[in-house]
Amino acid sequence: MTAAAGDRGNGTAMEIRLTVNDAERVADVAPTTTLVELLRDHLALTGTKVGCGHGECGACTVILDGRPVSACLVFAAQCRGRKVLTIEGLSASGEADRVQRAFVKAGAVQCGYCTPGMIVSAYALLSSNPRPSRREIEEAISGNLCRCTGYVKIVDAIDGASE
């Protein structure tokens, strides 16, 4: 059952307002609705993925008030009045962000399931540290698991996207 379906049967649903990708959004959520459920099931922003559902894989990484977070660990109600940036927000202009382009150029995408979270983590890193070392890149994506690539091309991509 999706969170949206569950909320309809939950008398404790509450309205929250928040900013997602620079747009004000309103949703009715249950106290137990997570941020990733809000994004995917209520706001149809399915670029953010769900892997483990308990903070281990990084597939659900989004930026909350400027900091990367695992959206499966944050309740939607905690995001009231706050700003969320998702993978969709990185290409809101219709053009791929430089980090996205760098992933394609470096061949850092295989199955792609980890890629949105990986790119969001990389975007957060480069926003605060435009010229990270490879060590700093590895640390920044240490919470993002990839079962396909071996990480070398991912680090190459982020290195290539840095200034």
CA 83 – CA 68 distance, rounded (Å): 12
- Taking CB under 6 A as the criterion, the residue among 10, 14, 19, 53 binding ligand FES is 53
Among 18, 84, 113, 161, binds ligand FES (CB under 6 A): 113
Q: What whole-number distance in Å separates Cα of residue 35 and Cα of residue 85?
A: 12
Residue type, 59: A
Q: What end-to-end distance do the CA atoms of the chain give, in Å?
A: 44
82: alpha, beta or left, given left = phi > 0 and alpha = psi -120 to 50?
A: beta
Scanning 15-23, 58-66, 94-102, 124-132 for contacts with ligand FES by CB under 6 A, the matching segment is: 58-66
Which of these segments, 11-19, 55-63, 78-86, 97-105, binds ligand FES (CB under 6 A)? Answer: 55-63
> Smaller CB distance to ligand FES: residue 17 or 156?
156
CA angle 22, 26, 28 (to 5 degrees): 145
Q: Pick from 37, 149, 157, 161: which binds ligand FES (CB under 6 A)?
A: 149
Binding site for ligand FES (CB under 6 A): 50-53, 55-60, 70, 72, 109-115, 146-149
